[in-house]
Structure 1
Amino acid sequence: MKNIEEIKKIFDVYKPILKEKFKVKEIGIFGSYVRGKETFASDIDILVDFEKEGKTFDNYMELKYFLEELLGLEVDLVMKGALKRELKDIILKEVIYV
């Protein structure tokens, strides 16, 4: 099982690909991995904001599958602009941008 520091290092290496191929403006981790409460059954919660040209369903799904392969974890990929009002403040306070 990877910890948050290992995951951050992976993102550091792949950040240029995320920006170029997937048009990622910013990406961050939130949820159990940030709180140190992850288990072997945990997925990883990732918050993403795309450049305008990256805001397509196909790009979203390709990024999700890419991240799952890269991290070896199930990814719950959440678009920053789609956050529900009642969760937005909580998520934005705990997200660690990578």
Structure 2
Amino acid sequence: MTKTDEPHTLPDRDEIISILKKEMTYLKEEFKISEIGLFGSYVRGEEDNESDIDILVSFSEIPGFIKFMRLEDYLSHCLHGIKVDLVVKNSLKTNIGKEVLSEAIFA
């Protein structure tokens, strides 16, 4: 296996939460985030090289589409370039919402 063939090291759940905590002051100021958490495969320890990072957010002020996309890009950059899938907590449907909230770890 050559150096370019080696898989990149995926961050674990604790590293992701640590990064989110570290970024929280900026996220509150720039994106008006009131709450941020991790859910999905990274919480369950089921992530692989194809996994995105599922992030649950609440806002004190709802962002426009462009700002929302900037937030996704910013978080992806902070999290080693792995694609981020942002889910707004208020938009969760009842059944899936219960499942997401039961496994979410908030920063």
Which bin holds the TM-score, normalised by the shorter protein?
A: over 0.9
Select which of 24, 28, 41 maps to 2:50: 41
* TM-score (structure 1 length as normaliser): 0.92
**Gapped regions of structure 2 (runs ≥ 5):** 1-9
**Residue pair 2:54, 2:87 contacting (<8 A) in 1 also:** yes
Return the structure number with greater helix share.
Answer: 1
Deviation of 1:58 (Å): 2.1
Number of equivalent positions: 97
Moved over 3 A (4+): none
Cα root mean square deviation, aligned: 1.1
Identity %: 44
3-state SS of the aligned residue for 1:49? strand
Select which of 3, 14, 18 maps to 1:9: 18
Structure 1 segment 65-80 matched on structure 2, within 5 A: 65-71=73-79, 72-80=81-89
Q: Give distance in 2, aligned partners of 1:20 and 1:44.
A: 22
**Gapped regions of structure 1 (runs ≥ 5):** none
Partner residue in 1 for 2:106 = 97
Deviation of 1:40 (Å): 1.3
State which structure, 1 or 2, has the greater radius of gyration over its C-alpha atoms. Answer: 2
Q: Give distance in 1, aligned partners of 2:65 and 2:59.
A: 11
